[in-house]
Amino acid sequence: MTPLMLHLDPDKLKTLLGRSLSYQGVPCQVIEILGEESPDLVLRDLRDHQVIQPNQYGDAGGWTPQMFTIRVLNVHGDRFNPDVPELAALDLLA
């Protein structure tokens, strides 16, 4: 039996922009949504932790806040990403 795939509402996903979420215990802010069919969230670490960002050639660039790109759904597409527990409590389904 194939698991039921969750269908996300793109308009409801847009409400996540600017929202604070916790990713693996790290406080983050949603700064971008990538894709529609199987969307990813781009999260910015809200702590003062910064990393060196490489330029297009892989050379060290400037210091920037840590960024994470994560899937909204788990690998099977039947549940929300368990690394972001707040997602399960939000109304994001079509």
> How much of the chain exceeds pLDDT 70, in percent?
97
CA 77 to chain CA mean position, Å: 15
Q: Does 62 or 35 have the greater pLDDT score?
A: 35
> How much of the chain exceeds pLDDT 90, in percent?
65
pLDDT over 70 at 28, yes or no:
yes
Residue-level pLDDT at 3: 63
Residue-level pLDDT at 2: 53
The rounded distance, in Å, linking the Cα atoms of 83 and 44 is 15
Nearest by Cα to 82 from 93, 94, 71: 71
Residue 11 to residues 1, 27, 39, 54, Cα–Cα distance (Å): 30, 24, 12, 33
Average pLDDT score over residue span 22-28:
94
